[in-house]
Amino acid sequence: MSDLDAPPDSVAKPKRSLPWERELRLWSGLVLFAFVTTHLINHAIGIAGLQWMTLVQGWRVAVWQSPPGTVLLYAAFACHLALVLKRLARRRIILMPLDEAVQIVLGLAVPYLLIGHAVNTRFAAVGYGSDISYAAVLPQIWSGNAIAQIILLLCTWTHGCIGVSHVLRTRAFYPRWRAAWIAFAALVPALAIAGFVASAREALARIAPTVANPSTEAALDGIVFDGRLVFAAIVGLVVLTMFGREIARRRSGRITIRYVGHGDVRVTRGTTVLEASRIKGIPHPAICGGRGRCSTCRIAVTDGAEHLPPPEAVERAMLTQLAAPGNVRLACQLRPVQDIATQILLPIPPRNAKQESLDEAYRWGAQREVTVLFVDIRAFNGLTRRLLPYDITLLINAFLREMSQAAEAHGGRVDSFMTDRLMAVFGLSDRSGAGAAHAIAAARAMLAVATGMNQRFGAALPFPLRIGIGIHTGQAVIAEVGDVARGLLVTAMGDTVSIASRLEAATKELLADCLISAATVKASGISLPRHEAKVVHMRDMDEAIGIHRLEDAAAV
């Protein structure tokens, strides 16, 4: 286990860390969000009339156009834009969460759209003495580019709300105020647009639009064009930097990151562990979006910790706060340079009041549609005869640990262990179709895990490790069973469990790695390749069970 304070000699020293950048980016963004909020609330006052809107504008201008307010606003804009572009240039070109992708696209759209608005209002007032009161500006906007103004409003507000949400959801108070925040985030732009429309119509009815000086208008249009051209060039340079860094990473070689419960992922050096998870589609929580503000993406490095670069300041501060052992790292900050093995420490949300109420609902039993998965080691008795007690114990514990994590990472609930066999139930808290799809995804992960275990234990095994998986969807009785002294267990009972178990056993007869019932495939909405086997006959059942094979991880 490596010591956080003792960087290994085998790796190069990390690049100089700039932890203040994250905080400056956050606070500059909050200043801009405060400005936008006051601006939109001023727009919303327009519902009461142009007179009230103009009155509030005077108060707002007194704050933001005062010398301190002007310096704070423009400095915040310059810092935020520069730091965001720098962060964007350093990131990998990969799949990312939808909200993060939307935030990036909108964040780039805002300055481009804002240039025209800023030049035709504040710059026109300072450079050409134009009247920028609402009474003068609103008729021009309404008759010229009202749609562009509304798009700018929505882009700016949505970008800011996503950023603030990333910060708020790491705070303990957020769950209590989440509904209020969503209401605020929805009402402000809606009222602002309503106020803009109402006041613009009022201004247009009362005041004729000002006829712009052609030379002034041409000069302003030229400034807008040049400003947008410069910004587009800067964004193009950032994109070229991203591609250049990606090419350099690909030329630096590849490493393997092994995930407990998910198999191996081959990525280029310089890829963070969180990015590797996203590339492979491995469920990996990161509440703050990978910004190092939370610890939900943390991992335990189970092999190769001695070759890791030491944590930089942002990661070190969070690990110190957690009092984390030396092999625990933040996946969003860790960029391994050699092969490592990791375990995601928070694969699913922690047990909460919702889960407790779910268990309470099953105290006296309930019938519902679920998906049951059985996974078993083939020829386990043959392994026990040929392996030493230590080796078989190590193997079975690794098997149960990794298969359990594969199930839980996809929303399954591990029901029971039976030496070399595991049962998991999906869909307890989701609609049945989601549970079926999650079970198939878990099976794919389990097959990848088996491949990885063969690579790790292959030299010690008398024959390759094989597993069998059976999955079925149907009605089952879900109940808490056991006693309080030894612990209660929520388990599934009924024909659905028996059929899933029978399908797992049938994998031996049909020489298949995974058999999925037609009911599960139908519930999941996933198309699977069709193979020779089509039905399995069950004892004590009149109708045969239609089946599909899932031979390997690439079959879904």
Per residue in 447-469, pLDDT (tens digit) is 988 888 887 777 777 888 889 99
Q: Write the CB contacts of 118 (distance below 8 Å, at least 6 apart in sequence).
A: none
Strands (E), 271-411: 298-303, 328-330, 340-344, 366-377
pLDDT at 46 over 60: yes
pTM assigned to the model: 0.60
Q: Write the CB contacts of 361 (distance below 8 Å, at least 6 apart in sequence).
A: none
Q: How confident is the model at residue 524 (pLDDT cuts 50, 70, 90)?
A: confident
pLDDT at 419 over 90: no
Centre a 10 Å sphere on the Cβ of residue 1 and count the other Cβ atoms it contains.
Answer: 9
Q: What is the CATH number of domain 19-248?
A: 1.20.1300.10
**CATH H superfamily, domain 353-555:** Nucleotide cyclase, GGDEF domain (3.30.70.1230)
Strands 535-536 vs 467-483: parallel, antiparallel or unpaired:
unpaired
**Intrachain domains 19-248 and 254-344 with the same fold:** no
Compute the distance between CA of residue 410 and CA of residue 449 in angstroms, rounded to an integer: 14
pLDDT in tens, 243-289: 888 788 778 788 999 888 787 888 888 788 998 888 888 888 887 77
CA-closest candidate to residue 234, choices 61, 53, 360, 89? 89
Q: How confident is the model at residue 485 (pLDDT cuts 50, 70, 90)?
A: low
Amino acid at 383: L
Residue 53: both structure tokens together: 């809107």
pLDDT at 8 over 60: no
pLDDT at 104 over 80: yes
Half-sphere exposure of 465 (CA within 13 A, CB side): 27
- Edge to edge, the sheet with strand 340-344 lists 263-268, 254-259, 340-344, 298-303, 328-330
Amino acid at 494: G
CA-closest candidate to residue 155, choices 114, 194, 118, 191? 114
pLDDT in tens, 219-236: 877 888 888 899 999 999
Percent of the chain with pLDDT over 70: 85
CATH topology of domain 254-344: Ubiquitin-like (UB roll) (3.10.20)
Q: In this structure, what are the phi and psi dihedrals at residue 518, rounded to the nearest 5 degrees?
A: -60, -30
389-409 vs 432-457: helix axis angle to the nearest 10? Answer: 150
Q: For residues 196 and 140, which has the higher predicted lDDT (pLDDT)? A: 196
| Domain ranges, ordered by start, for the chain | 19-248, 254-344, 353-555
Compute the distance between CA of residue 147 and CA of residue 236 in angstroms, rounded to an integer: 26
Amino acid at 149: Q
SS3 552: coil
Strands 514-517 vs 467-483: parallel, antiparallel or unpaired:
parallel
Compute the distance between CA of residue 527 and CA of residue 153 in angstroms, rounded to an integer: 42
